[in-house]
Amino acid sequence: MTQGIPTMSTFDKLHARFDAQAAQGMNDIFQFHFSDAEDHYLNIQDGELEICAGEHEDPSVSLSLSTETLKGVMSGEINGMTAFMTGKLKASGNVMLATKLTSLFPAG
């Protein structure tokens, strides 16, 4: 499997699920460090979402996980707090921002 492909399909789905209303007034960078794909970050600026490949120089929160863990958390199959407590998800920076991901990207 080519590195990066599962990540882009996941981010394509996130873009489609993005709730601009929930992101009103936000000015944050969510950095994703994947164990099995290229790094990406979400730039959320007052209801607008930009998905970028690579590493941001000053993210609001950094999340380290696998693409499968991200898919599970975003689909609701994996509880984010459980993933954090079991080490499947590591966070640094403003870790409380990570709790907003499910409201920013509600399950369809």
DSSP string, 61-105: EEEEE-HHHHHHHHHTSS-HHHHHHTTS-EEEESGGGGGGHHHHS
Distance of CA 50 to the CA centre of its chain: 12
Closest residue by Cα to residue 17 from 42, 37, 34: 42
Q: Which segments of the chain have a pLDDT < 70?
A: 1-8, 108
pLDDT at res. 51: 94
Query: For residue 108, what pLDDT is reported?
Result: 63
Give the C-alpha separation, 21 to 29, whole Å: 17
Q: Residue 21 is encoded by which pair of tokens?
A: 């209303």
Residue 1 is predicted with a pLDDT of 37
pLDDT at 9: 76
Mean of pLDDT over the chain: 89
